[in-house]
Amino acid sequence: MATLADIAVSGAINLLSAFIFLLAFAILRLQPFNDRVYFPKWYLKGLRSSPSRSGAFVRRVVNLDFRSYIRFLNWMPEALKMPEPELIDHAGLDSAVYLRIYLMGLKIFVPITFLAWAILVPVNYTNDALEAAKMVANVTASDIDKLSISNIPLKSQRFWTHIVMAYAFTFWTCYVLLREYEKVAAMRLQFLSSERRRPDQFTVLVRNVPPDPDETVSELVEHFFLVNHPDHYLTHRVVCNANKLASLVKKKKKKQNWLDYYQLKYSRDQSQRPQMKTGFLGLWGGKVDAIDYHISEIEKLSEEIEEETKRVLKDPKSIMPAAFVSFKTRWGAAVCAQTQQSRNPTLWLTEWAPEPRDVYWQNLAIPYMSLKVKRLIIGVAFFFLTFFFMIPIASVQALASIEGIEKRAPFLKSVIEIKFIKSVIQGFLPGIALKLFLIFLPTILMIMSKFEGFVSLSSLERRSATRYYIFLIINVFLGSILTGAAFDQLNAFINQSANEIPKTIGVAVPMKATFFITYIMVDGWAGIAGEVLMLKPLVLYHLKNFFLVKTEKDREEAMDPGSLGFHTGEPRIQLYFLLGLVYATVTPVLLPFIVIFFAFAFAVFRHQIINVYNQEYESGAAFWPDVHGRVITALVISQLALMGLMSTKEAAQSTPFLIALPVLTIWFHRFCNGRHKSAFVKYPLQEAMMKDTLERARDPNFNLKAYLQSAYVHPVFKGGDDDIDEDDLLSGKMETESVLVPTKRQSRRNTPAPSKISGGSSPSLPETVKNGEP
């Protein structure tokens, strides 16, 4: 068990690591040749030019202005200067609201920390229950545990203080949550009302279009919306399965990059043509001329791409029973997206279309009815992943301890018993071991979310974030507490009577705070400092810039920093909310570490959002109900944990007063969702009508159909370098061409508007009807 000295050593190591990272960042960001790594967002926006284009060679590489090094921490106040409205214009609402999660953490925990240290810490410290427990039951404890609830004797009246504080912390947290929910909902509505015209404002995604033997999917979609939305339907684009074509185009692009690389290499040294092996990763196989080989491969791929393109455009089987349907007004789109379209609730399913940047095209080709099966499979797989992952995590944490190392490597016993090394192992190693063990988990969860078939990047990230949070609760929080308590107190369990075991557990649970303190310092201090250093992107950029970059477009791709990574960052933040709320009344000494994390992370990620991250999509802060719900979950867990702990303390009179807390918290959550959640899942018709009216008055001659026509064309058809004629696509050849078959359905005969495909009457009508004959 980590002692106060071990925590101090861990704190010193992590503070030193954070300072080194910050110092390295402050130096590296000033060098001209790193400018595109630390300020890529400004380059992508066209608001910054390279400082290395003129002057002496040394000045183009190294910053020789020594005065700039003195102000090496000036990036922090600069990151905090940009007002929030300007930040929204610069980075989008998603990024601005993501920062509010850190700000909300400060709003919640700063007052709680002051209150806990002013009231609970003195109440806990002025007792001697742990000293008595050490003598009676040989329970291990440290100086930090004397500041926790474990140091209060059984049946003490002092537990009333913790109950009152639990109510105070709950009410304050709920108050902050309510104000933030109101604020973010207002920000979202303001953002949507003030935002410029976007294709997704007029478009819905229609899925599970029923099969019809007489009409193509395109004709069926057109006729359905001409009949049921005659005044607002504008155009549509069916979804095609172009996954294989996209794979071929991606493969050709890689081959082209290698060809450019070898041609550049040959242009620099023409004494010998570059050679390569054709085997796996170029490690074995016959040697060939690299340039000729890649030219021939590109020619083969071009032929395959041409054939696959023709198949996608002509084969009816490549057309999925889904379509992006656009309307003349936002009001018409809102009505369609938020209503049931047919008597059968499983057909003609409509939802708001993601914005074009947010569409995950690979999953659009998945038949809707197979999604339930896929999600069932992934649900079972996630269950086993979560609970079986607890075994290696517990094993790693056990090995990353004094007892584990001495058991596995007894020859190191004399070394690890040295005071400083022992402090490093107990105060630093468990936290870093856990962090390293979780590195690949977000990638695994994202793959699982993609398999489930979500059709937008934002929904993929939200789903993955939910699973990551559940995993952290079960494995990192509950797993660390339960397995850690069992390992630490095993000796005491063996030598005491059965009725004493619950009391020992009650003492052991708050003792796990020392492990979480070390984890917070590793992940929340040094880890956040490593985030701003961006060592991996720095190395990758310079490797790509040296070997692969040949054009400005290549350079933009090389320096592309990606987006925030909501699916990895937000669950990690929620773990800190959980730890802070659980230990606020149990071990308040942990709270300052939480506050430092939120303050430091807020400054770092504000800098990253302003200068680095280029958000892939804009969902209008649609993730906030998930954020709110996870904080509520943490609050309920903290209340249940305190109730369980009180039961082990024989506080029979005071414990029942805690029962009301989870009930009130859940009621508060339902109230907040009922009041504000609709702003995140629906678009008010009043707002839609106001915006439509205002837009018609400002720009009455705008050609909306031309604006929307190419918005939802599959990206693979927008490249322009694979002999795919985009003009043909826009003129309607993406829709399946087929022989027009008369239909007997009355709804099709009464289609009240001309066909958008043929320009004449509905293509499904018999010729006699088309010509106006009875």
Smallest Cα–Cα separation from 570: which of 459, 452, 461? 461
The CA distance from 320 to 286, in Å, is: 43
Q: Which residue intervals of 548-623 are DSSP H helices? A: 552-559, 566-583, 591-611
The answer to which of 246-255, 501-510, 527-536 has the lowest mean pLDDT is: 501-510
**How far is Cα of residue 590 from the mean position of the Cα atoms in its chain?**
27
Phi, psi dihedral angles at 327 (to 5 degrees): -120, 165
Is the model's pTM score more than 0.85?
no
Q: Is the pLDDT of residue 552 over 70?
A: no
Two structure tokens written together for 176: 């902050």
pLDDT-derived band at 203, boundaries 50, 70, 90: very high
Q: Is the dihedral of CA 556, 562, 563, 564 positive or negative?
A: negative
655-660 long-range Cβ contacts below 8 angstroms, 24+ apart: 657/163, 658/163, 658/166
**Burial letters for 493-512: b for 16+ Cβ neighbours within 10 Å, e otherwise?**
beebeeeeeebbbbbbbbbb
Angle at 102 between CA 99 and CA 108, to 5 degrees: 140
Smallest Cα–Cα separation from 652: which of 310, 282, 160? 160
- Res 432: pLDDT: 72
Q: Is the pLDDT of residue 752 over 60?
A: no
pLDDT tens, position by position, 132-145: 555 555 555 566 77
pLDDT-derived band at 490, boundaries 50, 70, 90: very low
The answer to which of 7-11, 288-292, 673-677, 689-693 has the lowest mean pLDDT is: 7-11
| Average pLDDT estimate for 647-676 | 86
Smallest Cα–Cα separation from 248: which of 307, 318, 292, 319? 307
Q: What percent of the chain has pLDDT over 90?
A: 34
Q: Is the pLDDT of residue 635 over 90?
A: yes
The answer to which of 257-271, 436-450, 474-488 has the lowest mean pLDDT is: 474-488
pLDDT tens, position by position, 296-317: 989 999 999 888 888 887 788 8
Q: What is the mean pLDDT of the chain?
A: 80
- Res 177: pLDDT: 97
Q: Is the pLDDT of residue 51 over 90?
A: no
Locus of tokens 């009725």: 499
Check: CB of residue 630 under 8 Å from CB of residue 577.
Answer: yes
Question: CB under 8 Å to 397, separation ≥6 — which residues?
Answer: 430, 433, 434, 480, 483, 484
Check: CB of residue 11 under 8 Å from CB of residue 522.
Answer: no
18/728: higher pLDDT? 18
Q: Is the pLDDT of residue 557 over 90?
A: no
- Strand, coil or helix: 183: helix
Two structure tokens written together for 344: 């059968």
Check: CB of residue 679 under 8 Å from CB of residue 188.
Answer: yes
For residue 460, give the amino acid letter: L
- Res 101: pLDDT: 96
The answer to which of 322-336, 466-480, 569-583, 760-774 has the lowest mean pLDDT is: 760-774
Locus of tokens 């015209």: 197
Which of 27-31, 295-299, 477-481, 736-740 has the highest mean predicted lDDT (pLDDT)?
295-299
Question: 326: which strand partners?
Answer: 203, 235
pLDDT-derived band at 502, boundaries 50, 70, 90: very low
Check: CB of residue 468 under 8 Å from CB of residue 442.
Answer: yes
Number of H helices, E strands in the chain: 40, 6
DSSP 645-691: HHHHTT-TTTGGGGTHHHHHHHHHHHHHIIIIIHHHH---HHHHHHH
| Average pLDDT estimate for 267-289 | 77
- Res 736: pLDDT: 37
Check: CB of residue 4 under 8 Å from CB of residue 144.
Answer: yes
Locus of tokens 């395959």: 304
**Length of the chain in residues, anyone?**
774
The 8-class DSSP code of residue 456 comes to B
| Average pLDDT estimate for 688-695 | 92
Locus of tokens 């002692």: 3
- Res 64: pLDDT: 64
- Res 400: pLDDT: 53
Q: Is the pLDDT of residue 505 over 60?
A: no
The CA distance from 39 to 75, in Å, is: 12
Phi, psi dihedral angles at 194 (to 5 degrees): -95, -10
| Average pLDDT estimate for 493-499 | 52
pLDDT-derived band at 31, boundaries 50, 70, 90: confident
The CA distance from 25 to 534, in Å, is: 8
Residues 153, 154, 155, 160: what is their CA dihedral angle, to the nearest 10 degrees? Answer: 60
Smallest Cα–Cα separation from 645: which of 516, 510, 485? 510
pLDDT tens, position by position, 208-258: 999 888 888 989 999 999 999 999 999 999 988 888 888 898 888 888 878
Region of 491 (left: φ > 0; alpha: ψ -120 to 50; beta: rest) is: alpha
Locus of tokens 């040697």: 287
- Res 746: pLDDT: 46
- Res 760: pLDDT: 43
